[in-house]
Amino acid sequence: MGAREVYGLYFSPNSLDYARSLSERAGASITYVQDDARYAASAMPEQMGSLDAIVTSNGTITWLPDLKDWARSIASLLADGGIFIIHDNDPLLFALSNEGMSIVQDYFNRAETTDETDQSYTSAVD
């Protein structure tokens, strides 16, 4: 849509590999960075400068254990007059069972969720 430079940040190497393959097929030039969204400001390339727009999507505010560092990163990366867009889901969606409309978890669950495995939640890119 006319952006001079586009950056993508995510923690999963498999997801970034998949994103790279999609952007290559689309002919889009995107710089991808693997890191934790909470520390995006320190993870992004120094030559990048300020961003006119920052978009964050599903899971950010529900999966990050602490939003303070994340919010500081956004504030330091966003140019004066820039726009910040957030798209996320209500936690009620995560409290519902997959089989129907029964609530099976506490809506106000404040426990940090961890999933320790050697495998990615995504399938490898061919």
Q: What pLDDT digit, counting tens, does each position of 24-50 carry? A: 999 999 999 999 999 999 998 877 888
The residue type at 20: R
Query: Residue 113 above 70 pLDDT?
Result: no
User: Rounded to whole angstroms, how far apart are CA atoms 97 and 74?
Assistant: 33
Tally of CB atoms within 10 A around 54: 19
Instruction: Tell me which DSSP letter residue 118 carries.
Output: S
pTM above 0.85, yes or no: no
Which amino acid, residue 92?
A: L
The pLDDT score that the predictor gives to residue 4 is 81
Strands 51-56, 78-86: pairing is parallel
- The structural domains of the chain, with segments of one domain joined by +, span 7-95
Q: What is the SS3 assignment for 116?
A: coil
